[in-house]
Every structure is written in structure tokens, then in C-alpha cells.
Amino acid sequence: MITPTVARMVHFHPQSNSIRSDFTPTALCAAIVCFVHDDNKTLNLSVYDKTGRQHAVLDVPLIQDDETPPADGYYASWMPYQVAVSKGEIPAVLHATPEPK
């Protein structure tokens, strides 16, 4: 299990029955964690829709490991890369060379 923290990226899965035109029900959206509730299982997110517009989505359940996603509700999940690194399946990638001190 990965502990959620502010500023981490997650995938946002819109409701399968969403009528909002800014979210395509079958498409993932990029989201940034803005707040982690005390249970570490519920997040407030800044979600970016298919046109790049930002939306605040509150109290989003974070589905991890073998948990079952809600059948008709929205939820967040970790990206496959994040899961693979947390399980030790692949090494973390340093995207920039640290500057010498």
C-alpha cells in the first residue's frame, strides 16, 4: 500500500454513468492530491479534464491493491509506474541529476 501525500499524482476515474461533458466516463484523468483525509483513504483532488481544465473533486476514495472499485462512483488510483516502484518490481527513475553542493 502506498501512503498518499499532498502533491502526488494519481489517476482519477470518472463515474461510469457521468453526465458531465467535461469527463469522459471511460477515460482516466490526471489529478493532483490537494488534501489527504485522516483515514488516508479519501482525497481531495485537483482533476484535469480532457481539455486541460481544472476541477476540484472532494472526498474521492483511493482504491489500492486488491480493493474493488465502486461500480458506479468515481475514485482515484495510483499509476502503474507508482505501483511497480512501490512493490520493488522496477527501480525508481531519477529524472534530473542532483546539483553538486
Tens digits of residue pLDDT in 23-32? 766 689 999 9
Average pLDDT, the chain: 88
Residue 93 has pLDDT above 90, yes or no: no
> Does pLDDT of 3 surpass 90?
yes
Q: What share of the chain is helix, strand, coil (3-state, %, to 5)?
A: 5, 30, 60
Any bridge partners for residue 55, and if so which?
A: 47
Neighbours of 78 (CB within 10 A): 21
What average pLDDT does this structure show over 91-97? 81
Scan for cell 454513468, then name that residue.
17
Q: How far apart, in whole angstroms, are the C-alpha atoms of residue 50 and residue 74?
A: 16
Residue 22 has pLDDT above 70, yes or no: no
| Identity of the residue numbered 49 | D
Q: Is the Cβ–Cβ distance between 70 and 16 less than 8 Å?
A: no
